[in-house]
Amino acid sequence: MKPAPFDYVRATDRDEVLEHLHEAGDQARILAGGQSLVPMLNMRLAKPALLIDVMHVEALARIEATADGIRVGAGVRQAQLLDWATRDPRLPLLARALPWVGHAQTRSRGTVVGSIAHADPSAEQPLCLLTLGGSLQLRRRRRARSVAAADFFVGMMATARGDTELIESVTFPAAQPGCGYAFNEIGRRHGDFAIVACAAVATASGARLGIGGVADIPTVRELPLPDAPDFDDALNQYAWDLDARDDLHATARYRRELVRRLGRQTIEEAMQCRN
Ligand SMILES: Cc1cc2nc3c(=O)[nH]c(=O)nc-3n(C[C@H](O)[C@H](O)[C@H](O)COP(=O)(O)OP(=O)(O)OC[C@H]3O[C@@H](n4cnc5c(N)ncnc54)[C@H](O)[C@@H]3O)c2cc1C
């Protein structure tokens, strides 16, 4: 199929993006790497009147260390962040998770922010942002705000972003001393979206476990460590609370079992990596 007709603007500065968003409102869509949006256009699941291409705005194409962590601009491609994370010890979870995102070809086009904006419940980058307690920097014409990842994902591919808002960047908190980080997922083939994805942060006294691919949104929960007597019950309760459903890829029961097994394994790996 071919997309419905649309206008296209190639913005070269941020204010131009905001002006177009302000004028077109919900008739406009930001075009980043196009790896999710273009198939949606072709299938006519999205029919925007205007596409605003942000990939030529230099100010959005930066990765920067800030007081809060590592800030990743809207134009940063997944391959760029993977390259950065493999060299920067402050981003151990992303160094482990990003190789699971699609393929080298899709990572060289797709952006980090595009994936988070798209909010697929099986996607790795929203899960990492949530598990680390990260935030998003949103901006419309006369107002900027920061939103915690915990408040951003509100339903199946639905977010707290307003129609006229650009996600300017996202901030991943830097690794903390005494913490370990691990990531695992099960999919049908490498590069497919996860059936279940697990991201874990372990400290000396407990763990935070993020789960993707089960509920409508990525979720995170504080758990005791696996050697605690109440660990199995707490993880089992988490698996049930995610309210898994059967679909073409897996049954709800299989997903719950993966949460229990892969969840434990991921926390144990995070404990072994504590610095
Ligand atoms: C073969 C294949 C395999 C894939 N496998 C995986 C996988 O395993 N895991 C995974 O997570 N993803 C996977 N993807 C999706 C891929 O990661 C996409 O790159 C990502 O979902 C979207 O990023 P993008 O930059 O391409 O965004 P686009 O497709 O350009 O945009 C996606 C959506 O986000 C909006 N948007 C983008 N940027 C902004 C912004 N700054 N502000 C506001 N809204 C914005 C767009 O308007 C659009 O609605 C796969 C894709 C393909 C084609």
Distances (CA, A) of 67 to 9, 70, 174: 34, 8, 9
Nearest protein Cα to ligand 1, atom 10: 123
Distance of CA 136 to the CA centre of its chain: 11
Ligand 1 touching residue 36 (CB < 6 A) = yes
Ligand 1 touching residue 106 (CB < 6 A) = yes
Nearest protein Cα to ligand 1, atom 23: 114
| pTM, 2 dp | 0.97
Cα of 110 from ligand 1 centre, angstroms = 6
Cα of 40 from ligand 1 centre, angstroms = 10
- Domain 58-173 fold is 3.30.465
Per-residue pLDDT of the chain (275 residues; tens, 9 = 90+): 789 999 999 999 999 999 999 999 999 999 999 999 999 999 999 999 999 999 999 999 999 999 989 999 999 999 999 999 999 999 999 999 999 999 999 999 999 999 999 999 999 999 999 999 999 999 999 999 999 999 999 999 999 999 999 999 999 999 999 999 999 999 998 888 899 999 999 999 999 999 999 999 999 999 999 999 999 999 999 999 999 999 989 999 999 999 999 999 999 999 999 87
- Domain 7-53 fold is 3.30.43
Nearest protein Cα to ligand 1, atom 33: 118
From 9, 37, 52, 147, mutation site for ligand 1 pocket: most ligand atoms within 8 A of C-beta: 37
The structural domains of the chain, with segments of one domain joined by +, span 7-53, 58-173, 180-272
Instruction: Indicate which atom in ligand 1 lies nearest the CA of residue 38.
Output: 29
Ligand 1 touching residue 110 (CB < 6 A) = yes
CATH 3.40.50.720 applies to domain 180-272: no
Cα of 206 from ligand 1 centre, angstroms = 33
